[in-house]
Amino acid sequence: MDKDKIDKKDHILDVAERVFSELGFDGASTRTISGEAGVNMAMLNYYFGSKEGLFLAVFKRKIISFQDLLKNIGSDGTTTAWNKIEKYIELYTQRVVTNNCFQKLLYQELSMQRRGELSDQITDILMRNVSEVAKILQDGIKSGEFNKNIDVELVIATIYGTKNFIVNSPQLTSKVLGYDIQNEKLLEEKFKPRIQAYLKTLLRSYLMNEHDNTTK
């Protein structure tokens, strides 16, 4: 049945996403992926053409959900810039919790500039996210809600970077934080509220308190 075929492809993509996330593109062999997915090696090439084709398929499937989520952010005209930032932090951290394997894979791949076409696609999509946040910040400056001297671009680097550091080096951060970042339950119950509260306090301090930031 056609449904079975789609389910199987989807299952392979699920497994591939996890294995790629854990081992990277090079480290994840087609044998490992097919083995863990419970399918014959040849099926990967049969369905996706090549290892790289499989990798791209994993990404494209996710990319679609990216773009849908994007539309709900920043378009609300009835609230303050700070409320938008808070809302964004909440949405963003939630997505990290539920997709942290993929998030890791995403920035892993982005940091290896090999496979140029793919890197360009990822960059373009992430740029839309970035532009959205930048717009919120700039609106907040214009309205006087935020300090006029803030470094918009580096604030964005802090939001994404703080999260990435934790997600992409779980071995290190688990040691630093004192609990296992890779445990889903702990991630949801302990990490999520903590980083949400932290990012809100950190950004409110920087964006809304008085300080001189003459150099830029």
Partner DNA sequence: TTGCATCAATCAATCGATTGATTAATTTTG
Partner DNA sequence: CAAAATTAATCAATCGATTGATTGATGCAA
Contacts to a second copy by CB under 8 A: 22-24, 26-27, 104, 107-108, 110-114, 119-120, 123, 126-127, 130, 134, 151, 153-154, 156-158, 160-166, 168-173, 175-178, 193-195, 197-198, 201-202, 204-206, 209, 211-216
CB contact at 8 A, 150 and 207: yes
CB contact at 8 A, 81 and 74: no
CB of 102 to a second copy, least distance (A): 13
CB of 128 to a second copy, least distance (A): 11
Using the rule CB under 7 A, which residue among 39, 58, 167, 207 binds DNA?
A: 39
Query: How open is the CA angle 194-84-166, to the nearest 5 degrees?
Result: 30
Q: Quick one: 41 or 186, whose CB is closer to DNA?
A: 41
Q: Does 52 bind DNA (CB under 7 A)?
A: yes
Q: Does 108 bind DNA (CB under 7 A)?
A: no
Q: Which of DNA, a second copy, none does residue 119 bind to, with CB < 5 to 8 Å depending on kind?
A: a second copy
Q: How far out from the chain centre does Cα 51 lie?
A: 23
By CB under 7 A, which span of 30-38, 125-133, 172-180, 191-199 interacts with DNA? Answer: 30-38
Q: Quick one: 39 or 207, whose CB is closer to DNA?
A: 39
Residues near DNA (CB under 7 A) are: 1, 4-5, 8, 28-32, 39-46, 50-52
